[in-house]
């Protein structure tokens, strides 16, 4: 019986120590990582390569949708 109580106490102690000193999972990631298919500049460059003669000014950059 004493072994069972000791085992339970060790498990509780391990869980408490993990909660106190374990990795911090409450902090959100620093920033959103954009993949190539979400990056407007990448998509603009790919469009320019695929259709080099289309558009009024091929040297103009991607249009910012926030403007």
Closest CA to 62 of 34, 46, 51: 46
Residue 33 main-chain phi, psi, to 5 deg: -90, 125
Two tokens at 8?
Answer: 């339970």
Question: How far is residue 32's CA from residue 36's CA, in Å, rounded to a whole number?
Answer: 13
pLDDT level of residue 65 (50, 70, 90 thresholds):
low
pLDDT of residue 3: 96
The greatest distance separating any two alpha carbons of the chain, rounded to the nearest whole angstrom, comes to 84
Question: How far is residue 56's CA from residue 45's CA, in Å, rounded to a whole number?
Answer: 15
Higher pLDDT, 65 or 38: 38
| pLDDT, tens only, 5-62 | 999 999 999 999 999 888 877 766 667 766 767 778 888 888 888 887 755 555 556 5
């Amino acid at each position: 019986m004493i072994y069972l109580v000791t085992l339970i106490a060790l498990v509780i102690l391990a869980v408490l120590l993990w909660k106190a000193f374990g990795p911090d999972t409450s902090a959100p990631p620093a920033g959103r990582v954009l993949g190539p298919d979400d990056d407007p500049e990448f998509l603009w460059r790919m469009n320019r390569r695929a259709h080099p003669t289309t558009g009024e000014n091929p040297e103009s950059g991607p249009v910012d949708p926030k403007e």
